[in-house]
Structure 1
Amino acid sequence: MSGSLSRRQAIDAVTKFKVAATATDVPLADLFGINVFSKSVMKARLPKNVYKKVAATIDEGAPLDPAVADAVANAMKDWAIEKGASHYAHVFYPLTGFTAEKHDSFLEPDSSGASLAEFAGKTLLQGEPDASSFPNGGLRGTFEARGYTGWDVTSPAYILENPNGNTLCIPTVFISWTGEALDKKTPLLRSQQAMSKQAMRLLKLFGHNDVDTVVSYAGAEQEYFLIDEHFFYARPDIMTSARTLFGAKPSKGQEFDDHYFGAIPDRVLAYMIDLDRELFKYGIPSKTRHNEVAPGQFELAPVFERSVLAHDHQQLMMTLMKKVAERHGMTCLLHEKPFAGVNGSGKHVNFSLGNGNQGNLLNPGDTPHENVQFLVFCAAIIRGVHKYGGLLRASVASASNDHRLGANEAPPAIISIFLGEQLMDVFDQIAKGGATGSKQAGVLELGVDSLPPMKADPGDRNRTSPFAFTGNRFEFRAPGSNQSISDPMVAINTILADSIDYLATELEKATADGTEFNAAVQKVLQQVILDHGAVIFNGDGYAQAWQDEAAARGLLNLRTTVDAIPFMAEKENEELFERYGVLSARELEARKDVILEQYALCLLVEAKETAEIATTMILPAALRYQGELAGIAANLTAAGIDSPTPLLGELTETIGALTSALATLNAGISGFHGEGELEEATYGLETLIPAMAAVRAAADTLEGQVADDLWPLPTYNEMLTIL
């Protein structure tokens, strides 16, 4: 690998890199939550009556008493200053999908010219950032700047460390002066409350009089790539677009399946160990780490948490993953498809429902046919996913996630449910009149005396299903690795509120008419499976046959963001969100417009970067090599040597293809337009994407033709294998 100067420098830096030992003077367990203003910290620092009120809001969803704010603010300030904080920040989650923060100093001058550390309750409760400078879908005009952040007591404050000083970070919601949600968190809190209300109602029908707030839990598996930072800075496409816009397929990719769960490289393991320590400081329950399928790809998975807290932790986790990578001379790539031709990265969201009294409501037990309560909640999910499949698909739509959904590496764009053999058998029995038994777990005899018999679950798993039951929870596999989990969780919570509401209403009607409760449950379950069983599919979601069968079943196949997003604001979905107070019609329409606008802008930026790199880096390299070959051919001819030069002809043909494709792409960029967000997004899909693909095809061919010492970009072979 001789390559250009930047490539040689990168390779030299990688090969000479020495792993630095990670500080382990403090045991990992002792680090957990040390930077968090947790319930235990509050209990130690707040007056007993104040702590009880705050704890009731966190644990039971009780209304927050504003009168406690001053006491909490004072305790929070003292704790933060002891931790080395000089500033505080209301942290919020705008519609960009990223994290935003504005820092203010604790110190304020007094009348004597000295300074005092001040942090009042009103400051804790509410802040005021600019509302018009974030994407808002027309909810705020440029001249209408006022917006508010509001303290979310259910998500603990924390200390964000920096070598030059620490900051107290306070998770908040972000709303406009007119009271509309401008963030990812407000609808998540609303959807959680709506789902809880309906779930508590259903549990009471089952005779539970001790019902606590029902919460949704989430655990999001985070896939990511690591590359050396020298490669990152030598690739303008990754710097601008977070993915490679060029790159020929490497000679060795993932075809041997030798990277998956392989031995973790020392440099990467040092990063993982360091990252775990950082995550633990913030109370983020990191659990699993391993090599993923593609070379250079890895995974991190946390333990389940309340979905609102899991959302905040996921946002912080993505920030920390990038920061810690920099310490180790690497760049963490969270784009869904940073490298073509190898697996992309998802963020599989595992979710369940439960509370302290009834436990996990999605735990079927050993005999699920007898666990009627579980079957009703499971039926609610089946109904919701079938009825609102288009909404679920839209909740994970983005320009970057379009690169993986539907490919043979991720769930298809068709939203279906996998139940497994055991549950499918139970629901088949219900559809036929009543369930009388459940398939039981088996035993695997391994034929080796020293190995104990192993329990075999009553059903297999299905990695091709977008919505799969995995034993005591469902796994939504469609979210992308760079995505906030708010959108899918808002959709899941809200469709569950609707389906649980429907089932509770049907049961109330039936029992009011004199039907015995168990008989009413059987009838409702049977009707759900007959009306919505089409969404259940246990087979291979990658197979073409499923595409055809899904169409026959009436299931949507929304392949792109442009196909999916219009479903967000359909009348049925608009009524759904308004009925449960999650999003108004105006808020929903605004979110649809924001996603389409970001999609179109993403494609436009990628198109411009494609044109620039091809014009200023790849084409000049190809022309220089063409000149070299032409000179060699001329010299040979002058010397009387008859030497055919097919490479020169092939190279010239490819240069012509690149030049022609560039002309088409530049024309597409110049003509970028639309009457509205959907039209601009459609233009990007139909015009810019094919034009970029044509430029890339020619450029990637040139990569295999141009001399290695002239090629200006680090290659896939280098970036994916040198760590």
Structure 2
Amino acid sequence: MSTLRFNALKELPFRNYRKDNSIEVPKKLSELFCENVFSEETMRAYLTKEAFTSIQDAIKRGAKTPRNIADQIAVAMKDWALSKGATHYTHWFQPLTGSTAEKHDSFFTPFESDRAIERFNGSMLIQQEPDASSFPNGGIRNTFEARGYTAWDPTSPAFIIGTTLCIPSIFISYTGETLDYKTPLLRAMHAVDVAATDICRSYFDKNVTKVIPTLGWEQEYFLVDSALYQSRPDLVLTGKTMLGHSPAKGQQLDDHYFGSIPTRVMNFMKELEIECMKLGIPVTTRHNEVAPNQFELAPMFEETNVAVDHNSLLMDIMARVAHKHHFHILFHEKPFAGVNGSGKHNNWSLATDTGENLLSPGKNPKKNLQFLTFFVNTLKAVHDYADLLRASIASASNDHRLGANEAPPAIISAFIGSQLYSVLEELEKVTDGKLSPEEKTDLKLNVVGKIPEILLDNTDRNRTSPFAFTGNKFEFRAVGSSANCAEPMTALNAIVARQLQEFKKKVEYNIEKKNLKKDEAIFNTLREYIKDCKNIMFEGDGYSDDWAQEAEKRGMSNLKTTPEALKEELNQKFIDLYEGLGIFNHREFEARNEIKLEKYSAVIDIEAKVLSDIARNHIIPAALNYQNRLIENVKGLKEIFGDEEFKPLAKEQMELIRSISANVSDIKTGVDELLSAKEAARATMGSQQQAEMFCNDVVPRFEKIRTASDELEMMVDDELWPMTKYRELLFTR
């Protein structure tokens, strides 16, 4: 056959057994770690003591780097990069496109007619001016105002990819508004650092001078053969399959999860890990995920800004390495209908510069009270700002995953485990006001004192919870696999920062106005918060209809779609939160909401066009081709057996002909209705209204076309079917 599908299938044996795909690790992974990173160790080797001290002050305390010191750092960075074979440099940043961006400039600088040098100075290091006219801005600036600035972020180390020195940077407009993911994340991290450090120093440990939000992401993804990928226009253009009948064998046997990793995939993983080690990405875990051809990669915990940069960098590296192994990587949250989708669980905690995890209990009641303070305040923050968290993970692709059998629902609830829940119930019973000596003893020894023992045994997890406590961290499970971690981490750090500020005010009020001792003031405040946020605590099955009904009774939001979530995002309460913390001004926040709405509508618009094209130009012609064969067969039977005798003999063929006609008709009318609805949505004024039109009037029309097409897939001769099938995409090793 000459179809793309069969040409792709012919190449598979060649791809599967190529010897040059074999990967051997050249040395210990630990010896490769940070090989291509301008790390602290490299800085010590290349910088003067003055320059090294200055950049460490910038990293650890946010101090500004003087221009003369920046010149020294730039020269050292250039010398190191040249020693690694670099020829160019770029400010590497994360615009609101959802991917990374870079503009390469050469170190090469001619200075006479026949002479040249490699040049890189402090001004080049600190700032660049990429054209900002084509990046999303949400109406925050005019198209003709093209100037934008990238500025070096010294808290995330520079690195080399190929022959290019990459300098992690923020991205802002000419008028100073943020146009990237990194800038608000850095501001949110600063806010939670200040608030959490204040709590620690005031009530628990005066030696704490900094609190660092940490992140450990878990990246799920699918691998499909690159030839099969290219044979599917829907995968190429949308990242997901717009149609396709479920294979006879899917994930029913649970035989893929944690199973033996296929050789070809293992070679991909080996090379990926080598590249990660060189770039300082501390990946430690790899395994098969639940769905066929689905896998997961996870690193050690890092400071959140660096972890976000590493995840963005990783996604780029994964695509490059996959290409070398004749794979294409799918980050779409739900690339295959009826098959588990992919998430990016964000494991979040707070660490002090004294080496403590604030969400981990200690060996004495004081440390456990510290743990309870940050634990309960996080729950309270999630309770008060649940809709903001939901909006932070909203996208057209994640809408397909949330609420499915492998992902948490759109209802933002928290799972903490039954034993820890019992501890909170005991705290809730504490008498309001001053504690009696007996109450103090019982509270500290029998309730607070037992927390480490409880958490040691409470190792169960609730996979249906969007926000689960897992022993010493919270796991934000609802984040989608294609997302930039920065947005949900900005929201989470911001809401916790605000909540800790409110907590401090409340405790100080209890101490000053109610004459309570410090511990009693803290307990009373925590007790009040536990009562306030019990609604979001849920230990059961988040997939069940009963939970949706129960959540509604509790007054919890169930924002199932992106337009619903983004409409709630513009709540004045959320704008005030971000403005009050200095993370966004109202113009920046509204612009980002606009960008997300526009992207949602654009994604659905593209999917509608792609589905219509495939249906008309691939599916209908294949169906009619097969139908014509059947018609010729029926005509032949009639010629041989006569008018009466051929009828029972041609019964099956006649039924197939009718079924094909009915499904082709459904596709034709479905496409017409879809395109009409799409045009009506495009003509709608206002981003929110347009997104709602695409969501409510366009997306539901996909199903009619898909159903008819998938039925035809099971009727039409396999050799005539043009689209690579699920059984081939999912089970090709």
Output the TM-score relative to the length of structure 2: 0.94
How do residues 633-712 of structure 1 correspond to structure 2 at under 5 angstroms?
633-639=634-640, 640=642, 641-642=646-647, 643=649, 644=651, 645-671=654-680, 672-712=682-722
Q: State the match for 1:475 in structure 2.
A: 475
Superimposed CA distance per residue, residues 646-705 of structure 1 (whole angstroms, 9 cap, x where no aligned partner):
111111111111111111112223332221111111111112212222111111111111
The alpha carbon displacement at 1:251 in A equals 0.8
Q: In structure 2, what residue type is equivalent to 1:684?
A: F
Task: Give the whole-Å Cα distance in 1 for the aligned partners of 2:199 and 2:355.
Answer: 12
Conserved? CA contact 2:420–2:451, under 8 Å: no
Unaligned runs of 5+ in 2: 431-438
Q: State the match for 2:311 in structure 1.
A: 314
The alpha carbon displacement at 1:84 in A equals 0.7
Quickly say closer, same or farther: Cα 1:294–1:472, change in 2 above 3 A.
Answer: same
Task: Give the whole-Å Cα distance in 1 for the aligned partners of 2:2 and 2:599.
Answer: 35
Q: State the match for 1:616 in structure 2.
A: 617
Task: Give the whole-Å Cα distance in 2 for the aligned partners of 1:624 and 1:695.
Answer: 19
Q: In structure 1, what residue type is equivalent to 2:655?
A: P
Q: In structure 1, what residue type is equivalent to 2:425?
A: D
What is the DSSP-based 3-state SS (H/G/I as helix, E as strand, rest coil) of the residue aligned with 2:623?
A: helix
The alpha carbon displacement at 1:550 in A equals 0.7
Q: In structure 1, what residue type is equivalent to 2:674?
A: L
Q: State the match for 1:602 in structure 2.
A: 603
The alpha carbon displacement at 1:168 in A equals 0.4
What is the DSSP-based 3-state SS (H/G/I as helix, E as strand, rest coil) of the residue aligned with 1:154?
A: coil
Quickly say closer, same or farther: Cα 1:7–1:338, change in 2 above 3 A.
Answer: same
Task: Give the whole-Å Cα distance in 1 for the aligned partners of 2:337 and 2:299.
Answer: 28
Conserved? CA contact 1:383–1:499, under 8 Å: yes
Q: State the match for 2:357 in structure 1.
A: 360
Superimposed CA distance per residue, residues 132-170 of structure 1 (whole angstroms, 9 cap, x where no aligned partner):
210000111111111100000000100011xxxx00000
The alpha carbon displacement at 1:442 in A equals 8.8
Conserved? CA contact 1:284–1:313, under 8 Å: yes
How do residues 63-82 of structure 1 correspond to structure 2 at under 5 angstroms?
63-82=64-83
Q: State the match for 2:153 in structure 1.
A: 152
Quickly say closer, same or farther: Cα 1:489–1:56, change in 2 above 3 A.
Answer: same
Quickly say closer, same or farther: Cα 1:338–1:429, change in 2 above 3 A.
Answer: same
Match of 2:10 among 9, 12, 30: 12
The alpha carbon displacement at 1:369 in A equals 9.3
Conserved? CA contact 1:237–1:609, under 8 Å: yes
Superimposed CA distance per residue, residues 302-329 of structure 1 (whole angstroms, 9 cap, x where no aligned partner):
1100000001000000001111011111
Q: In structure 2, what residue type is equivalent to 1:669?
A: K
Unaligned runs of 5+ in 1: 444-454
Q: State the match for 2:435 in structure 1.
A: none
The alpha carbon displacement at 1:30 in A equals 1.0
Q: State the match for 2:182 in structure 1.
A: 185
Task: Give the whole-Å Cα distance in 1 for the aligned partners of 2:89 and 2:308.
Answer: 21
Q: In structure 2, what residue type is equivalent to 1:714?
A: T
The alpha carbon displacement at 1:440 in A equals 7.4
Task: Give the whole-Å Cα distance in 1 for the aligned partners of 2:62 and 2:451.
Answer: 39
Q: State the match for 2:434 in structure 1.
A: none
Q: State the match for 2:288 in structure 1.
A: 291
Task: Give the whole-Å Cα distance in 2 for the aligned partners of 1:442 and 1:432.
Answer: 21
The alpha carbon displacement at 1:119 in A equals 0.7
Which stretch shows the higher mean deviation, 19-28 or 532-541?
Answer: 19-28
What is the DSSP-based 3-state SS (H/G/I as helix, E as strand, rest coil) of the residue aligned with 1:108?
A: strand
Q: Are 1:201 and 2:223 counterparts?
A: no
- Higher helix share goes to which structure? 2
Conserved? CA contact 2:459–2:471, under 8 Å: no
Q: In structure 2, what residue type is equivalent to 1:410?
A: A
Task: Give the whole-Å Cα distance in 1 for the aligned partners of 2:452 and 2:72.
Answer: 54
Which stretch shows the higher mean deviation, 526-535 or 308-317?
Answer: 526-535
Quickly say closer, same or farther: Cα 1:368–1:650, change in 2 above 3 A.
Answer: farther
Task: Give the whole-Å Cα distance in 1 for the aligned partners of 2:251 and 2:167.
Answer: 42
Conserved? CA contact 2:368–2:451, under 8 Å: no
Match of 1:382 among 346, 354, 379: 379
Conserved? CA contact 1:391–1:491, under 8 Å: yes
Task: Give the whole-Å Cα distance in 2 for the aligned partners of 1:50 and 1:440.
Answer: 46
How do residues 222-301 of structure 1 correspond to structure 2 at under 5 angstroms?
222-301=219-298
Q: In structure 1, what residue type is equivalent to 2:176?
A: G
The alpha carbon displacement at 1:8 in A equals 3.0
Superimposed CA distance per residue, residues 421-455 of structure 1 (whole angstroms, 9 cap, x where no aligned partner):
23211111011117433667999xxxxxxxxxxx9
Conserved? CA contact 1:368–1:426, under 8 Å: no
Quickly say closer, same or farther: Cα 1:4–1:709, change in 2 above 3 A.
Answer: farther
Task: Give the whole-Å Cα distance in 1 for the aligned partners of 2:506 and 2:98.
Answer: 38
Task: Give the whole-Å Cα distance in 1 for the aligned partners of 2:245 and 2:2.
Answer: 17
What is the DSSP-based 3-state SS (H/G/I as helix, E as strand, rest coil) of the residue aligned with 2:138?
A: coil
Conserved? CA contact 1:131–1:140, under 8 Å: no
Conserved? CA contact 2:459–2:470, under 8 Å: no
Superimposed CA distance per residue, residues 211-242 of structure 1 (whole angstroms, 9 cap, x where no aligned partner):
22211100110000001111011001100001
The alpha carbon displacement at 1:66 in A equals 3.9
The alpha carbon displacement at 1:210 in A equals 1.7
Quickly say closer, same or farther: Cα 1:4–1:368, change in 2 above 3 A.
Answer: farther
Q: State the match for 1:327 in structure 2.
A: 324
How do residues 137-176 of structure 1 correspond to structure 2 at under 5 angstroms?
137-161=138-162, 166-176=163-173
Conserved? CA contact 1:246–1:699, under 8 Å: yes
Q: In structure 2, what residue type is equivalent to 1:668?
A: A
Task: Give the whole-Å Cα distance in 2 for the aligned partners of 1:28 and 1:324.
Answer: 17
Conserved? CA contact 2:90–2:105, under 8 Å: yes
Q: State the match for 1:451 in structure 2.
A: none
How do residues 52-131 of structure 1 correspond to structure 2 at under 5 angstroms?
52-131=53-132
Task: Give the whole-Å Cα distance in 1 for the aligned partners of 2:374 and 2:484.
Answer: 26
How do residues 546-625 of structure 1 correspond to structure 2 at under 5 angstroms?
546-625=547-626
Q: In structure 2, what residue type is equivalent to 1:190?
A: R
Task: Give the whole-Å Cα distance in 2 for the aligned partners of 1:706 and 1:556.
Answer: 45
Alignment identity in percent? 45
What is the DSSP-based 3-state SS (H/G/I as helix, E as strand, rest coil) of the residue aligned with 1:97?
A: coil
Task: Give the whole-Å Cα distance in 1 for the aligned partners of 2:222 and 2:344.
Answer: 13
The alpha carbon displacement at 1:108 in A equals 1.3
Q: In structure 2, what residue type is equivalent to 1:529?
A: I
Superimposed CA distance per residue, residues 330-389 of structure 1 (whole angstroms, 9 cap, x where no aligned partner):
111111111110000000000110122151111024777971011010111011000000
Task: Give the whole-Å Cα distance in 2 for the aligned partners of 1:131 and 1:667.
Answer: 35
Q: In structure 2, what residue type is equivalent to 1:425?
A: S
Conserved? CA contact 1:271–1:328, under 8 Å: yes
The alpha carbon displacement at 1:11 in A equals 2.6
The alpha carbon displacement at 1:50 in A equals 1.3
Conserved? CA contact 1:406–1:412, under 8 Å: yes
The alpha carbon displacement at 1:635 in A equals 1.5
Q: In structure 1, what residue type is equivalent to 2:579?
A: E
Q: State the match for 1:447 in structure 2.
A: none
Q: State the match for 2:136 in structure 1.
A: 135
Quickly say closer, same or farther: Cα 1:442–1:128, change in 2 above 3 A.
Answer: closer
Q: In structure 1, what residue type is equivalent to 2:558?
A: N
The alpha carbon displacement at 1:634 in A equals 1.4
Q: State the match for 2:48 in structure 1.
A: 47
Quickly say closer, same or farther: Cα 1:442–1:170, change in 2 above 3 A.
Answer: closer
Q: State the match for 1:351 in structure 2.
A: 348
Superimposed CA distance per residue, residues 28-67 of structure 1 (whole angstroms, 9 cap, x where no aligned partner):
2211100000111111111101111211221233344444
Q: Aligned-pair RMSD on alpha carbons?
A: 1.7
Conserved? CA contact 1:315–1:484, under 8 Å: yes
How many residues of Structure 1 are paired with residues of Structure 2 in the alignment? Answer: 706
Which stretch shows the higher mean deviation, 431-440 or 496-505?
Answer: 431-440
Q: State the match for 2:466 in structure 1.
A: 466
